Chain A
Amino acid sequence: GQQLNQSPQSMFIQEGEDVSMNCTSSSIFNTWLWYKQDPGEGPVLLIALYKAGELTSNGRLTAQFGTTRKDSFLNISASIPSDVGIYFCAGQSPRGSQGNLIFGKGTKLSVKP
């Protein structure tokens, strides 16, 4: 089945640093979604991308839909302690296929205050 490779698996950063993570796939997707999950909670949608090349921001978060439609990137600028959590990418296949969301395995972000 389809798989997403999300990297890095985990990262430790100093407060104030910028963070980058990405997801790649062997298949093309029509939609890329980025979620954040806090401990003991459900994933919360951060950014949705629907068009190749699209660049979308949500506060300090910026995500891009790769031009090949096989990858996506999430950047967090000037990280703060509340950015700690697990970030998941999810890709959705074009209509006509089963079209279910495929999730990456997550990037665990830890911030040193």
Chain B
Amino acid sequence: NAGVTQTPKFQVLKTGQSMTLQCAQDMNHNSMYWYRQDPGMGLRLIYYSASEGTTDKGEVPNGYNVSRLNKREFSLRLESAAPSQTSVYFCASSEKRWGEQYFGPGTRLTVT
């Protein structure tokens, strides 16, 4: 039982490049989330998926898109990376929409 897994662990992009961050959970959770963590800013919600087949914007969605591929997987895509998207990205999941969230190990992204 791995919990929440994320790939890749590290990534360096040039401005304008695109990439997809992958997230999977094996806890049969209904809800999944993408956060970014910046120094002094705490964790901020980018997008979430309350259940399979639905996605909604969080606090900072601009420049990102998401796909809830199935119940297990929730991906985050940067279509045209910008230096302001340099951050650590965390995926999380929870059994219910309102409840305890469990986090993955993070993806450290640098955009130059």
Contacts and interface: CB of A to CB of B under 8 A. Distances in A.
Nearest to B48: A100
**Nearest 5 A-B pairs (CB), nearest first?**
A42-B103, A103-B43, A105-B42, A103-B42, A43-B103
22 contacts: A33-B100, A33-B101, A40-B106, A41-B105, A42-B4, A42-B90, A44-B103, A45-B100, A45-B102, A48-B99, A48-B100, A88-B42, A90-B43, A92-B98, A101-B43, A101-B45, A103-B43, A103-B44, A104-B42, A105-B41, A105-B42, A106-B42
B100 A95 contact: no
Interface string A88-113: 10101001000111011110000000
Interface residues of B, number: 21
**Main SS of chain B's interface residues?**
loop
A30 interface: yes
A60 B99 CA distance: 23
Interface of B: 4, 40-45, 48, 58-59, 90, 97-106
